Amino acid sequence: MIQIKSFTFNPFQENTYLLINDNNECIIIDPGMYSASEQMELDSYITSNKLKPVMLINTHCHIDHIFGNNYCVNKYNLQLQSHEKEIEVLNSGLFTAKSYGLNYDPSPQIELFLKENQTINFGDSTLKVLFTPGHSPGSISLYSEENHFVIVGDALFYQSIGRTDLPGGNHQTLIQSIESQLMTLPDKTSVMSGHGPITNIGHERQFNPFLND
């Protein structure tokens, strides 16, 4: 069984997720910690709950999702995992941060590349890697069939979708990704987005205006 803990970090109000299994291992997904206090908030939760971080995954590498990469790699001795097509996005982080007037401790490089339909073993559970580009060229989602959730980065939001006007974005590609990879999941599947509240596939199938033209 996987438990999920979420945090909202940085000026972009990004959702960072911890996936926690029955062995008290955890996966850190999209660490957005911008300040020392946000780093402390994450670490205090991990420490107080006696968790062992075992993986660090970026659903995609836009600046708001990678502020905490360097901290997590060094603090917990982790290797960064993401899709190969996110390398260029990751490497643009310093330029992007400067354009917003923000500080940024550059992220380490991706060491383990996640591939479409790959299975990630996590204790007694598994996560399936879904390839969901469009918001970013290598965006992935992480689907747990047995726990009925999918973590989608910025592909899909509550009654909205990710923006596609950033470098590497493409509106039609994003719609195709959502329809082929996410809307095919069961209605009860909880959708954990990179920003905003939790929703579910059934609600978005019925009420998302971008999917019901």
Q: Could you report the per-residue pLDDT of 38-72, keeping only the tens digit for each?
A: 999 999 999 999 999 999 999 999 999 999 999 99
Instruction: Answer yes or no: are the C-beta atoms of 178 and 139 closer than 8 Å.
Output: no
Q: Could you report the per-residue pLDDT of 139-191, keeping only the tens digit for each?
A: 999 999 999 999 999 999 999 999 999 999 999 999 999 999 999 999 999 99
The one-character DSSP state at 164 is: -
CATH code assigned at 150: 3.60.15.10
What pLDDT, on a 0 to 100 scale, did the predictor assign at position 46?
A: 98
Pairing of strands 125-131, 119-122: antiparallel
Q: Could you report the per-residue pLDDT of 98-151, keeping only the tens digit for each?
A: 999 999 999 999 999 999 999 999 999 999 999 999 999 999 999 999 999 999
SS (H, E, C) 50-68: CCEEEEEECCCCCHHHHCC
What domain range includes position 39?
Answer: 3-211
As a whole number of Å, the end-to-end CA separation of the chain is: 37
pTM above 0.85, yes or no: yes
What pLDDT, on a 0 to 100 scale, did the predictor assign at position 212?
A: 77
Domain count, the chain: 1
* Greater model confidence, 213 or 30: 30
Q: How many CA atoms lie within 13 A of 154 on its CB side?
A: 24
